[in-house]
Structure 1
Amino acid sequence: MKLITLTLAGLLAASAHAAPLLNLDPISGNLSGLPGSTVGWGFTITNTMDFLVVTGASFVPVPLSSFGTFTDFISTGPLIVVGPAPESATITQAFNAITLTGIGAFHIVPTAAGSVSGTIVINYALFSVSPNDPSFNPDIDLLVPDGALRATASVTAATAAPEPATLGLVAFALLLIRFTPARR
């Protein structure tokens, strides 16, 4: 009986090893924008074991160019390292098309209609030593060469709210002028 208990405890301890976690911003992963606009995802990555280094991002399947295009931001900026001290175990970044922060941008083409669904994939390498440590050696310290974090996502080309017809507004204004009593 003790052997079974010890075996179960060992299995539970092994499964408690914290895997890296990705949360999109917005959490649903669903974005909406007018045709011709650019939208994007922010993120929070949590990793408490070893040192995760982001190497790239993609939207899969690759959407048809007639709907839009995805641009990777997360791997083009400063090196993102997530892990135990001295690094931060949680990194959060909001999407900003001007400063190129967040996971990436999705440009919706001006003629787009409908939506596209897929998966945001963040590729990473996992190291036993932080890349910011002076003793870091990528050949010796590499644990996982190409890991991936995934989250479902979608982009919808929203329709613009219809503007009131100009003729109707002009007719309404003329009626107001005609039937408004004159002040004396």
Structure 2
Amino acid sequence: MKKLLLQVLMAMLMPLTAHALPFTFTLSAVPAAGVVNGLPGQTVGWGYQLVNTDTSNWFVPTQLNATSFSLGSPDASYFDFPILAPGATANAVFDQILHTGLYGVQIFPFALPGQMDSGFFTLSGEWWSGDPLAGGIFLQTAAGVQVAATLEVGIAALPEPGSLLLLAPGVALLLARQRRRQEGSQFGLAAG
């Protein structure tokens, strides 16, 4: 009886050990180099491409962390934690209005042009035998994957004056000159 119970227990544990393979997923920051830049006070951020490279198991992201940013206030609420079927890909560009992407940072107003911050995003998750929302079985946690990130503070470009603003002083000068000529010729006629 003990031998039979041991065999049943081993048979039940066997599939779990077969799934203990190193499942893989990839995370890439968008833009590809992981470098974003913005002006003091502006909110900038990164998009992402997340790929489940496993051919039979589902990937469920569970945690996104970032190294600290000394040049701004970080905001991880952009990431939507997509559940990926085997071989599936999820993409999102950073969009402050639609609130999509990987991570956002509002650059401090006192940040100086040319300053930079570099660090990493780390995404961790879980592996499931099927869709976790439709009866899939949890297999194991996924080791975190890191992607490099760089934040640069840019220099505000001087606004180019519109052509009407450039033209207005010249037109005003010509009108003033024309008026002086007219006034001068009126006085010259009256005196003569």
TM-score (norm 2): 0.66
Paired residues of 1:47 and 1:83 also in contact (CA < 8 A): yes
Aligned partner of 1:59 in structure 2 is 66
Over the aligned positions, Cα root-mean-square deviation in angstroms equals: 3.1
Q: Alignment identity in percent?
A: 25
Aligned partner of 2:186 in structure 1 is none
Q: Residue 48 of structure 1: CA displacement?
A: 3.0
Q: Helix, strand or coil for the counterpart of 1:73?
A: helix
In the alignment, which of 15, 24, 27 is matched to residue 29 of structure 2? 24
Aligned partner of 1:108 in structure 2 is 107
Gaps of 5+ in 2: 1-21, 183-192
What is the count of residue pairs matched by the alignment? 151
TM-score (norm 1): 0.68
The structure having more radius of gyration, on CA atoms, is: 2
Paired amino acid for 1:63: F
**1:80 & 1:30 partners in 2: Cα distance?**
23
**1:82 & 1:48 partners in 2: Cα distance?**
10
- Tell me which protein shows more helix as a share of its residues: 2
Runs of 4+ in structure 1 off by over 6 angstroms are none
**1:102 & 1:161 partners in 2: Cα distance?**
26
Q: Residue 58 of structure 1: CA displacement?
A: 2.3
Gaps of 5+ in 1: 1-16
Q: Residue 18 of structure 1: CA displacement?
A: 6.9
In the alignment, which of 122, 137, 142 is matched to residue 139 of structure 2? 142
**1:70 & 1:174 partners in 2: Cα distance?**
46
Q: Structure 1 residues 18 and 58, CA, compared in 2 at 3 Å: closer, same or farther? A: closer
**1:23 & 1:70 partners in 2: Cα distance?**
19
